[in-house]
Amino acid sequence: MQIVSGGVTDVGRVRTNNEDSFRIVEPLNLFILSDGMGGEAHGEVASSMAVETIEKYCSKTDESGDSGVTLHGSASESWSPQTKRLQNAVFQANHSIYQSAQNHPEQRGMGATVTAGWVNGSKLSIAHVGDSRAYLLRTGALQQLTNDHSLVAEQVRRGIITPQQAEESDMQSVLLRALGAHPDVDVDVDEIDLMPRDLLLFCSDGLTRMVTEPEIAGKLQSETDPAAAAQKLVDFANERGGLDNVTVIVALIQEESKGWFSWLRRDSGKKV
């Protein structure tokens, strides 16, 4: 598989600072997106710490050979060592943010969401906390791969309110889970089988609160270049009002060419 990817972050039309962070780690096919919380309590510090910690943990050489061991929480026996490593990276990010807030009183109350995807061959590992999202676009159908850890999403799941009421609720920003809020955190982890021409989308809620899922699917299908697609989605969210920071990562899964000239393209297979 080859991956062509691009990412964009923008402060939006209302906020004065950008608390979102993202990272595309091309050598690993690793995608990380985090939305910070806390405002003056340094939400941008929390999101940056989440992204940097996860990248560092996933990139390190594992001399102890324990990459297949889950250090915290529960894990499926069927999960790959890479999926377990990604889960552990998110646990480490939670610990780092929580400890930083404990050591620096001015950071008390900071936290962050995280949605991270790690592609290995045809397998996508996902780790997720909060209400940033991951989507899969396949044959024109957009599928949400993550569940929001928010109050209104939980109320929808329990049948207390409708999805339309959730979209109109003043409680959309209330999270039930976030990095840094507590010493421990539950991390949603999953593995997805990928196919050529699949399109992956990672985004903060600055996109999904402004743009509907059918509109997102339409924008993704209308633009073949992932970097341009990410920019178009950010621009569209801003046209709708840009009430929050908005960050988008788009990654296109391609089948690697096996012709005699494929070596000429190896260095140009990814864009950021």
Q: What is the CATH number of the domain that holds 194?
A: 3.60.40.10
Rounded Cα distance between 219 and 184, Å, is 38
Q: Is 203 helix (H, G, I), strand (E, B) or coil?
A: strand
Q: What is the pLDDT of residue 38?
A: 85
Q: List all residues 6 or more positions away from 110 whose beta carbon is below 8 Å from its beta carbon.
A: 36, 37, 38, 41, 42, 43, 45, 46, 97, 100, 101, 180
Model pTM score:
0.89
Q: How far apart are the first and last CA of the chain?
A: 17
Amino acid at 261: F
Q: Which residue bears the tokens 């790690």? A: 118
Pairing of strands 123-129, 114-120: antiparallel
CA angle at 130 for the pair 121 and 4, rounded to the nearest 5° = 30
Q: What is the pLDDT of residue 150?
A: 87
- Show pLDDT as tens, one digit a residue, over the chain (272 residues): 899 999 999 999 999 999 999 999 999 999 999 999 987 779 999 999 999 999 999 998 654 444 444 455 555 677 899 999 999 999 999 999 999 999 999 999 999 999 999 999 999 999 999 999 999 999 999 999 999 998 988 898 889 988 889 888 878 888 999 999 999 999 999 999 999 999 999 999 999 999 999 999 999 999 999 999 999 999 999 999 999 999 999 999 998 766 544 445 445 444 44
**122 lies in which domain range?**
2-268
Q: What is the pLDDT of residue 71?
A: 54
Number of structural domains, the chain?
1
